Structure 1
């Protein structure tokens, strides 16, 4: 079997696994790399050279610098101003999407979205509007902003590194700006003017307050005299009923102990504040002998409505969080994760696709975009969420940080940009130096820097770079290019360029954008060689198209992150995404040919 045929077979299985989503994309990429090595398509001694590739190093440095911007208070300062925008939807969309667009040009676009997402949700709550009207435009704005600079998105870094290998010089820091900025502005204009008509309103379902109105799910259960639960620990209680029902607090006399810190034994007349449905309440009554507590005074509740009444939730340390694409929680249950024992967290409720899941908590296998209601210690809950790979959604207190650190962070980044623009240092070296300077200056700690590095993306890049090179060295890229050349023989070069752009855009909607860029770059170079023209317009077409995943929630992490909080369904994205994709293509191709002529 020819080498090119073997490469095609590996890539076909890899792409199918990416689309299926059963296994994380970093594991799929590693499997593809090892298969290429075993088949002799990638030399064994070069199998892991991709992890030292300048593109990988640059992505790592950008992630660390992004966290530095967050810790210095720069983004909080911007977010605080965004909250003053008022109640006009068109102005809210413009400010939020425009802000995340600008931020995404100088930091990781998922990081920029993660910082502005709580601001958008808080704004929607304060003005009693559906968050769905703001979150999809916010996600798309983060993708558009990445088009403007070298460090805005991994595909730009990958394409620049590929050009370096191809012609001996990569794209500069602002080489993407003339095309990217015009495309981003056109996209932002479409989002602001047409977004409210094309984005679905999920008022009843998407409201996190409605999904997680804990007063309607929390009940007080008393430990009566003679109950089997007398003398039990909370762990004994969970083992007896074989269900991790969250005990949010134990009230003993005048003292109230959070459930995650209560390690004593239950006594008669203890009150347990429990999040439980009818089935769980029956289990607690049958197997532990607990009884529904007395009706609370009217002034402590919200008016009631349940059989068990409502309870005062004040003081509960609850947080809403969304499961990221790279979370360690994916496809695992509460028991497998040992949420309480390992992370000190209680799972209170889960929402998916805008609606609260009613199945038993222990049976839920988490998916990307799930919105969780968790309880934990105020000091540790942030670190636990970061370790698990969850993004907190609850309104956060905006802290402006230390002004000195803000200025230091911006100054360090500015020096790195100047070094790149003046060709004093390659991008990987300049940005790595800036990341190191941020650590030495105390902008962020070493631990925070390591937490900022997106491991799955780094593994994906390091593994897929040699596979992409195998596509080129095996002749596979030339075969695809020859087929496209044959189809476009009677058409102008611009038609083939548009076809390449459309293929890249469609591919980016079903696989990671970095993987799309890695696979499309050698095909673009082969096409340019076949036409006898400059490779630059073809590489630029790949860079823009690979970052234009507007049609599905799985094409980019930004789209997935807003799916749960916005209450979106899979088919909602193309309604705004298709017009936006066509607009991006219509603006980008003429501009690419003007700025980067054939």
Structure 2
């Protein structure tokens, strides 16, 4: 929200300002009695001297910076208290994002220390490091374990534990993985060294809505699903029967090259490795220097923003920071396609006069209300749309409507566009409103309803604070 490149809506709004001013100038020159011509008169703008430009890099900073600061203070002091305590568990030892409840399948060999113990005694025996929550019967069905059941050789269970602790406990208590998983691990073991990776299933991932069989086919059995972590609902199925959802965290095992290929091709997000490696950030300073130079060049108008950042990407390639083989893999193609489809829709809304009709309806409804109310209403509508569709698409839809309302009122288009930019960047009510919302769903142990518990008060605060800030820094 603080800079033009901070969010996709900011970039869209910045360039949209220039194209709209060009279009208004052309309409005003073509007809001196047009609404566009009247707009420039009320704004005391000499059309012949007008040089349309987009919003600059830091034009979003005054409003966005204050909103961001107040938002952080709200979350730190009050917002976190609105989240249910069940989502605020203390992180387990050695875990990342409090992922301490991986689900996996184990069997009881004859040397296991659990033999002859009751199921109810296991949690205390392992000091709450392992929980048995499912008993796998011979016909592969899962039932709730009988707490009085005495564990015997050959029993199979679904257990819940931190993966780091589970590895230690398998040696400590003599646990083993189930036969099928053990066979697949042994097949890889003799080929090359194997590694573990924790990965997150995102909205764009090909695994979303699929099962373990799909993962096996896509990886040609070169990667093993060792365990799965999902918060908010219990898992009482075999790993082979589980359908992957957004926010699931998977523990994968395989050769490092196969793991990297799998993560890339299935559009998974790898979580940080548990063991810190010295020297992995050796090129961070170079990357930051190049990125900072691109920002400075665009900020002072030395180069257009597209040219400066395209140059930064080329420098990343030449310096080896970004392998050329990874260049196109990092592009979010679904978003590119979405924007490519929405830009013609946005243009059609304007060329067919639809934006004018929508603006007339909103003006008719709000004709007796002050400007600050109209700006707040635009922000609320934009926020609502951003909670259910992509925020960049929302900006493309709402920007022309906001401009049409401003022109009809004879007011500057800048505060209206800023209202859209702020609203499109604040999608806090649902996990599908923004990619970041979905990314923290699983690791943060959040439920769908947790988002609006804190998101709704936060959005109300932003509307109440953002509207006067926009009017102060961008007078109508």
Q: TM-score, normalised by structure 2?
A: 0.73
Match of 1:200?
84
Match of 1:175 among 55, 59, 63: 59
Taking the aligned partners of 2:9 and 2:299, their CA distance within structure 1 comes to: 19
Q: Structure 1's 209 and 316: CA in aligned 2 closer, same or farther, altered over 3 A? A: farther
Rg (Cα) greater in structure: 2
Match of 1:479?
357
Contact 1:206 1:565 (8 Å CA) reproduced: no
**Count of residues in Structure 1 that have an aligned counterpart in Structure 2:** 386
Aligned: 1:437 with 2:315: yes
Contact 2:194 2:256 (8 Å CA) reproduced: no
Taking the aligned partners of 2:176 and 2:297, their CA distance within structure 1 comes to: 64
Q: CA deviation at 1:550?
A: 0.9
C-alpha deviations, 1:18-43, integer Å up to 9, x for none? xxxxxxxxxxxxxxxxxxxxxxxxxx
Taking the aligned partners of 1:568 and 1:171, their CA distance within structure 2 comes to: 37
Match of 1:375?
253
Q: Structure 1's 515 and 401: CA in aligned 2 closer, same or farther, altered over 3 A? A: farther
C-alpha deviations, 1:127-157, integer Å up to 9, x for none? xxxxxxxxxxxxxxxxxxxx01111111111
Q: Structure 1's 163 and 399: CA in aligned 2 closer, same or farther, altered over 3 A? A: farther
Match of 2:101?
211
Match of 2:419?
541
Contact 1:502 1:545 (8 Å CA) reproduced: yes
Match of 2:15 among 161, 171, 177: 161
Q: Secondary structure at the match of 2:443?
A: helix
C-alpha deviations, 1:302-343, integer Å up to 9, x for none? 5589999xx999x98443322111111222333334356437
Q: Secondary structure at the match of 2:107?
A: strand
Q: CA deviation at 1:218?
A: 2.2
Taking the aligned partners of 1:164 and 1:384, their CA distance within structure 2 comes to: 42
Q: CA deviation at 1:574?
A: 1.1
Taking the aligned partners of 1:482 and 1:220, their CA distance within structure 2 comes to: 72
In proportion to residue count, which structure has more helix? 1
Q: Secondary structure at the match of 2:205?
A: coil
Contact 1:220 1:292 (8 Å CA) reproduced: yes
Taking the aligned partners of 1:539 and 1:468, their CA distance within structure 2 comes to: 15
Q: CA deviation at 1:360?
A: 3.9
Aligned: 1:585 with 2:466: no
Q: CA deviation at 1:437?
A: 1.5
Contact 1:206 1:354 (8 Å CA) reproduced: no
Contact 1:354 1:566 (8 Å CA) reproduced: no
Q: TM-score, normalised by structure 1?
A: 0.59
Contact 1:354 1:565 (8 Å CA) reproduced: no
Match of 1:292 among 154, 177, 201: 154
Q: Secondary structure at the match of 1:472?
A: helix
Taking the aligned partners of 1:307 and 1:188, their CA distance within structure 2 comes to: 44
Match of 1:420 among 282, 288, 298: 298
Q: CA deviation at 1:192?
A: 0.6
Q: Secondary structure at the match of 1:552?
A: coil
- Name stretches of at least 5 consecutive residues in structure 1 with no aligned partner: 1-146, 223-275, 285-290
Q: CA deviation at 1:193?
A: 0.5
Taking the aligned partners of 1:448 and 1:509, their CA distance within structure 2 comes to: 31
Match of 1:150?
4
Q: Secondary structure at the match of 1:338?
A: helix
- Name stretches of at least 5 consecutive residues in structure 2 with no aligned partner: 22-51, 93-97, 111-132, 142-152, 157-167, 186-192
